[in-house]
Amino acid sequence: MAGRGTAQRPNGAGAAGKICQFKLVLLGESAVGKSSLVLRFVKGQFHEYQESTIGAAFLTQTVCLDDLTVKFEIWDTAGQERYHSLAPMYYRGAQAAIVVYDITTQDTFSRAKTWVKELQRQASPNIVIALAGNKADLANGRMVEFDEAQAYSEENGLLFMETSAKTAMNVNDIFLAIAKKLPKNDQAGGGAVGQGGSGSRRLDEGGAGSQGSTGKCCK
């Protein structure tokens, strides 16, 4: 597993100092741009020659929602088939997933649908799933229609956006949309979160470095 460190924007905690922590996993075929989306979101960068991920990478980033800070613990998985068996380790207990495909390759959309099915069967029942049609800047080479992906997402209750890690289009937006949809309290979180280290956690300001494995959801 190749950790790539962590980074946070200086937007800090929300006004009330409440921080919610959520585990988010990125899944999808190799080379669709999972690492590039994370790099754009966390560091505001894009690399034309992004290296293929080995195992998985872990990064964190926060977004502010009114008086609440949502901290994402992001697992960027490796899309190469030989790593497929590792995926459950990363999506197990995750509150959110971004399933990524490349709008210029139909096969990657089919693979994304397979990931969605696997998540629906095996991940937490309340997991928030977003579908990202990445490389939207390459619209001339489009092989997956926006309407087709949107209709599929509606049928399956997924958030959907076309994104570009290269131009930054919709990258912050998709994470923000997920943050808005995530349950922020014990009731909303239901049984799928809050126990055994898989739940969203409220961290008091100043305790943000705590990585305890249990804790309450946000209030």
Ligand X SMILES: Nc1nc2c(ncn2[C@@H]2O[C@H](COP(=O)(O)OP(=O)(O)OP(=O)(O)O)[C@@H](O)[C@H]2O)c(=O)[nH]1
Interface with Mg ion by CB under 5 A: which residues? 34-35, 53
Q: Which of residues 10-29 bind ligand X (CB under 6 A)?
A: 28
Residue 135 interacting with ligand X (CB under 6 A):
yes
Q: Which is nearer to Mg ion, 34 or 184 (CB)?
A: 34
CA dist 128 and 180 (Å) reads 10
Q: Of 60, 80, 150, 172, which lies in the binding site for ligand X, with binding defined by CB under 6 A?
A: 80
Q: Of 20, 27, 32, 68, which lies in the binding site for ligand X, with binding defined by CB under 6 A?
A: 32
Residue 45 contacts residue 121 (beta carbons within 8 Å): no
CA dist 195 and 124 (Å) reads 12
CA dist 36 and 39 (Å) reads 5
Contacts 24+ apart (CB under 8 A), 43-51: 43/7, 44/168, 46/165, 46/166, 46/168
The residue among 75, 76, 61, 74 whose CA lies nearest residue 19 is 61
Q: Of 30, 60, 120, 198, which lies in the binding site for ligand X, with binding defined by CB under 6 A?
A: 30
Q: Which is nearer to ligand X, 65 or 168 (CB)?
A: 168
Q: Of 105, 164, 170, 200, which lies in the binding site for ligand X, with binding defined by CB under 6 A?
A: 164
Residue 26 contacts residue 37 (beta carbons within 8 Å): yes
Residue 137's binding partner, choosing from ligand X, Mg ion, none, with beta-carbon cut-off 5 to 8 A by kind? ligand X
Residue 138's binding partner, choosing from ligand X, Mg ion, none, with beta-carbon cut-off 5 to 8 A by kind? ligand X
CA dist 66 and 79 (Å) reads 35
Residue 150 interacting with ligand X (CB under 6 A):
no
Q: Which is nearer to ligand X, 49 or 155 (CB)?
A: 49
Residue 95 interacting with ligand X (CB under 6 A):
no
Residue 49 contacts residue 36 (beta carbons within 8 Å): no
Q: Which is nearer to ligand X, 64 or 168 (CB)?
A: 168
DSSP three-state, residue 76: strand
The residue among 31, 9, 20, 109 whose CA lies nearest residue 65 is 20
DSSP summary character for residue 85: G
CB of 122 to Mg ion, least distance (A): 22
Residue 35 interacting with ligand X (CB under 6 A):
yes
Per CB under 6 A, residues contacting ligand X are: 28, 30-36, 47-50, 52-53, 78-80, 134-135, 137-138, 164-166
